């Protein structure tokens, strides 16, 4: 059960040795999509040097347009495995279909459910039987209650290792890609014992907003962050405009470090 009344203490979710839900705030960083073995290894090395605890990289990309880059699929998972070998960072990647479960169990430390699949209940039920932690992102048109219900679907199969993620919701505002629902952090923390992390990259959709949204999230009580970082954002195959360069990421990490010590 997600409800805090059944579990008053915060749940600590262990992802390949990195703990979410404790006072230390892990940051997941990496490109939206894995584009090549060299790319993912280079980015993994740089984000690790800046203090990231985990690496992200999309293999199966749920793109709005069928004509956009769809991801390197299984090949990307193999490259992620190599980046993990090179750096020791655990890896997270998104699952889009039940048929990918076996592959994900083999190559990934944390299985991401994207915003578009949060209410794919057959997938949630199947993930209930997986023995890997799940990163469950809030759908961009879903309520907090619906997010928790999706977590319940996973839990009802026996998998209680879930990290929730606020990644922005759709509003009338068009200046930003989505509107980060800052309130979701304290609201969720009150309702549930599960860790809550924030994705400032997809929330704002702009690289200049990543730092302020990340800072606000930590101040509001987030248990972690997931940030898109690319070695050449202008030529990224997906989400370049919101991706930080490794140098920008390093600056953000320094600011976050100061803030985390203050809150
Ligand atoms: C992603 O993490 O690259 C992604 C597609 O996120 P979301 O599902 O939140 O849009
Ligand atoms: Mn992305």
Tell me what the mean pLDDT of segment 227-233 comes to: 98
Residue 115 belongs to domain with CATH number: 3.20.20.70
C-beta of 31 in contact with ligand 1 (< 6 A): no
Q: Is residue 70 pLDDT above 80, yes or no?
A: yes
Q: Which residues are close to ligand 2, an ion, with C-beta < 5 A?
A: 32, 239
Report the mean per-residue pLDDT for the chain.
Answer: 97
Which atom of ligand 1 sits closest to the CA of residue 56? 2
Tell me what the mean pLDDT of segment 151-178 comes to: 98
C-beta of 135 in contact with ligand 1 (< 6 A): no
Span from the CA of 5 to the centroid of ligand 1 (angstroms): 30
Determine the structural domain holding residue 183 and report its residue range.
4-262
Based on its alpha-carbon atoms, the radius of gyration of the chain, rounded to whole angstroms, reads: 17
Tell me what the mean pLDDT of segment 64-71 comes to: 96
pLDDT at 262: 73
What total number of domains does the chain contain? 1
Span from the CA of 151 to the centroid of ligand 1 (angstroms): 17
Q: What is the ipTM of this complex?
A: 0.99
Q: Is residue 263 pLDDT above 90, yes or no?
A: no
Which atom of ligand 1 sits closest to the CA of residue 226? 2
From residue 230, how far is each of 153, 240, 245, 248, 249 by CA, in Å? Answer: 34, 8, 5, 10, 9
What percent of the chain lies above the pLDDT cut of 90?
98
Tell me what the mean pLDDT of segment 107-111 comes to: 98
Span from the CA of 124 to the centroid of ligand 2 (angstroms): 21
pLDDT at 216: 98
Span from the CA of 238 to the centroid of ligand 2 (angstroms): 6
Span from the CA of 239 to the centroid of ligand 1 (angstroms): 10
* Neighbouring C-alpha atoms within 13 Å toward the C-beta of 106: 11
Residue nearest to atom 10 of ligand 1 (CA): 115
Report yes or no: 249 and 227 within 8 Å, Cβ to Cβ: yes
Residue nearest to atom 8 of ligand 1 (CA): 114
Residue nearest to atom 1 of ligand 1 (CA): 32
Q: pLDDT (tens digit, 9 = 90+) per residue, 33-60?
A: 999 999 999 999 999 999 999 999 999 9
What percent of the chain lies above the pLDDT cut of 70?
100
C-beta of 137 in contact with ligand 1 (< 6 A): yes
Span from the CA of 63 to the centroid of ligand 2 (angstroms): 9
Counting ligand 1 atoms within 8 A of each CB, the residue from 31, 92, 112 with the most, and so the one to mutate, is: 112
Tell me what the mean pLDDT of segment 203-208 comes to: 98
pLDDT at 95: 98
pLDDT at 260: 79
| Helices 37-49, 74-87: crossing angle, 10 deg rounding | 40
C-beta of 226 in contact with ligand 1 (< 6 A): no
Which atom of ligand 1 sits closest to the CA of residue 61? 5
Q: How confident is the model at residue 238 (pLDDT cuts 50, 70, 90)?
A: very high
Report yes or no: 78 and 107 within 8 Å, Cβ to Cβ: yes
pLDDT at 261: 75
């Amino acid at each position: 059960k997600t409800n805090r009344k059944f579990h008053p203490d915060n749940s600590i979710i262990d992802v390949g040795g990195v703990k979410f839900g404790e006072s230390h705030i892990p940051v997941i960083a990496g490109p939206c999509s894995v584009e090549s073995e060299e790319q993912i290894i280079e980015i993994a090395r740089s984000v690790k040097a800046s203090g990231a605890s985990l690496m992200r990289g999309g293999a199966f990309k749920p793109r709005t347009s069928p004509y956009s880059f769809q991801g390197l699929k299984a090949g990307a998972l193999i490259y992620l495995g190599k980046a993990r070998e090179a750096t020791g960072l655990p890896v997270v990647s998104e699952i889009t279909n039940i048929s990918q479960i076996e592959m994900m169990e083999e190559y990934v430390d944390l299985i991401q459910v994207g915003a578009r699949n949060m209410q794919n209940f057959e997938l949630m039920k199947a993930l209930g039987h997986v023995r890997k932690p799940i990163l469950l992102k809030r759908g961009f048109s879903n309520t907090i209650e619906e997010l928790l219900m999706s977590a319940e679907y996973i839990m009802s199969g026996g998998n209680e290792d879930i990290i929730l993620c606020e990644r922005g919701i759709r509003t009338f505002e068009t200046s930003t890609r989505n509107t980060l629902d800052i309130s979701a952090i304290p609201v969720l923390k009150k309702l549930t014992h599960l860790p809550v992390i924030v994705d400032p990259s997809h929330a704002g959709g702009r690289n200049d907003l990543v730092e302020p949204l990340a800072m606000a999230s930590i101040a509001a009580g987030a248990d972690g962050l997931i940030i898109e970082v690319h070695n050449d954002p202008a030529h990224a195959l997906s989400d370049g405009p919101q991706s930080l360069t490794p140098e920008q990421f390093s600056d953000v990490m320094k600011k976050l470090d100061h803030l985390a010590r203050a809150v």
